[in-house]
Chains A and B, each alone.
Chain A
Amino acid sequence: MNPNQPIPNPPPCGSTVELNDAVMKKLKSYRWKGRALTTVALSIGLLSVVASIVLMWANSAFIFPQVQLLIQNSGGTQTGNTNSITQTNQDSSILTLSTGKTVDQQVLVTLFLGKAMWLTSRAVALLGVGTLLTLLLVIFNRHITLRQINASLAQISNQIKELQDGRGSDDKR
């Protein structure tokens, strides 16, 4: 045996094709896992956007009218009893609005909290929608570009293969 000569290859084994199939199956399941995770992530993103919108709607539909009602009631109490106005104005928990109406501090805090929540929900919803749209745009653009590159590369590799096959048949002759 000449140690500098390449060692001859072992006889081909039949399990290579089976193994390749098994590898492809494994890759397929791996890709599906990736897709499932992406779907879950996108769903969570969408859910947060929807939740923010629902929160905004709930604030506008339920909380704000209630707060408005509280302010009105508070104003009604004040107009009904002048003495109580004087008394309540001296109370630190009573505030006077720019309209001249005096309201309970707690009502005002509820109003501010509601407004803050509404604004936060709106910001989150906008942010979520913006992120999702940007993400989709990037993925879509990337997909198109890669598809174009891949088509060109596939053409090139086919041409190389044809060239190689042509050379192979020429060599045989």
Chain B
Amino acid sequence: MSANTQQLYEQTLVIRSQIGDELAFQELLTLYGPHLLRFTRKMMPTSPHLAEDVTQEIWLAIYKGLPSLLDTSKFRPWAFRIARDRIYREYRRRKITVGSLEESHVEELPETGGASAVVDVEELHRGLDAISTEHREVLMLCFFEELSYEEIASVTGSTLGTVRSRIHYAKRALKIALERKIL
């Protein structure tokens, strides 16, 4: 029920922002700002300042596009979709090559026994930075932002099956990265 109330509250904020209520938009910014900043920073780990600039651009794009959002309950995936598009646009603009998916490579790697139960947070973040962008992206959306698979599919513009397999390989890649201590 609490999650529903929160969702309802966020929906009213989105509608109020669509109407043009500045305070509601500010509250949305307070609620989602840290999430989007974290996502952008993680997607651009080498340039934190650029990540902040891109986050500002993302919020401006959200503000501009908000009136066109019909289903207000989908604000979260919609905002992440905008964020993702902006980040990839920035990659293209700066000619940054996105780490290609190496799922076949990941599959070939031997699956070792269980990793240590406790992983240092910093170590985990370094592990995330070590894997490919697309793997990192789905892990971020799934475990940090706790989006459903359907929502991740709408954010990444891929099918549900692709999302499932990508998360599977991403988890494996992260596990290998942590085990091999390539951090």
Contact = CB atoms under 8 A, between A and B. Distances in A.
B33 A149 contact: no
A169 interface: no
A163 interface: yes
B21 A20 contact: no
Interface string B120-132: 0100110000000
A29 B178 CA distance: 45
Given A7-B144, A27-B25, A16 B60 contact: no
Interface residues of A, number: 35
A152 to B, nearest CB: 10
Main secondary structure of the interface of B (DSSP, over half): helix
Interface in A30-74: 30
A27 to B, nearest CB: 6
A5 B125 CA distance: 15
A82 interface: no
Nearest to B42: A10
A1 B16 contact: no
B52 A19 contact: yes
A128 B23 CA distance: 36
Nearest to A6: B143
Contacts of A23: 29, 33, 55-56, 59-60
B6 A164 contact: yes
Interface string B44-66: 00000000100110011001100
A101 interface: no
A136 interface: no
Interface stretch (B7-15, B78-86, B88-96, B101-109): B7-15
B57 to A, nearest CB: 9
Contacts of B143: 5-7
A83 interface: no
B87 interface: no
Interface of A: 1-3, 5-13, 15-16, 19-20, 22-24, 26-27, 30, 146, 149-150, 153-154, 156-157, 160-161, 163-164, 167-168
29 contacts: A1-B118, A1-B119, A1-B124, A6-B144, A9-B38, A15-B37, A16-B33, A16-B37, A19-B33, A19-B52, A20-B26, A20-B29, A20-B30, A22-B52, A23-B29, A23-B60, A30-B60, A30-B63, A30-B64, A149-B19, A150-B16, A150-B21, A153-B12, A153-B16, A154-B21, A156-B12, A164-B5, A164-B9, A167-B2
Given A8-B124, A9-B38, A24-B26, 15 more contacts: A7-B144, A10-B121, A11-B121, A16-B37, A19-B52, A19-B56, A23-B55, A23-B56, A24-B29, A153-B19, A157-B13, A160-B5, A167-B1, A167-B5, A168-B2
